[in-house]
Chain A
């Protein structure tokens, strides 16, 4: 069964770039869309964007100017970069597999999440 594991620094300084990687095991990254979702402490879920195995991307309009996602099929992993971070970007960041296409999307497999704190 597919498993996801996020990795990356737990502390990022304000104005710098947050970088996270999600390793996909138990399945090929090529045949699905993959997404990043975050959750600030004590708050709800916010979708950041998704990337297909081919590299096609779609970002949340509210974050689009700061987000870059990429995929490395040789390593079966995908990555997130979020630039110019502020304290408002402090959150648990999840990677997830996207279920569906066309008229619906859902997230059927989630990583365990990684906490990222933005602080000097």
Chain B
């Protein structure tokens, strides 16, 4: 079955750029989405179809997908961006989630 791999944790200083990766076999041939989840809250879609932002998501959030890796990039990172981030793809009529990455802003 298809798998998506994320680093368990990423740290970034306020104002800097955070990059969270998601790896899967030929992931670049599929579309990747990204979700932000803060403690005790439901996930929020921040990127879909590799690089599209839903209404209301700041431009600081961007995405790319090529080869075997999709990347979520958060520019000018703020304390409010500290959360768990999950990548997700669609393969063989099945939804797959990555294991999640905890972003720490310190």
Contacts and interface: CB of A to CB of B under 8 A. Distances in A.
Interface string A29-58: 000000100000000111100100000001
Contact of B90 (A105, A110, A112): A105
A60 B95 contact: yes
A110 B33 contact: no
Of A45, A60, A61, A99, chain B has the most CB atoms within 10 Å of the CB of A45
Contacts of B94: 47, 60-61
B45 A108 contact: yes
Interface stretch (B16-24, B66-74, B75-83, B97-105): B97-105
A28 to B, nearest CB: 20
Nearest to B34: A106
Interface residues of B, number: 23
A27 interface: no
Given A60-B94, A104-B90, A110 B99 contact: no
A78 interface: no
Interface size class of A (residues with CB under 8 A): 20 to 34
B49 interface: yes
Contact of A106 (B48, B93, B96, B98): B48
Contacts of A108: 45, 48, 54
Contacts of A47: 94-97
A45 B100 contact: yes
Interface of A: 35, 44-47, 50, 58, 60-61, 94, 99-100, 103-108, 110-113
Q: Which 8 A-B pairs have the closest CB atoms?
A: A104-B31, A47-B95, A106-B48, A106-B33, A110-B42, A45-B97, A105-B90, A44-B100
25 contacts: A35-B95, A44-B97, A44-B98, A44-B100, A45-B43, A45-B86, A58-B93, A60-B94, A94-B43, A99-B45, A99-B48, A100-B31, A103-B30, A103-B31, A104-B33, A105-B90, A105-B95, A106-B45, A106-B48, A106-B88, A107-B35, A108-B45, A108-B54, A110-B44, A112-B42
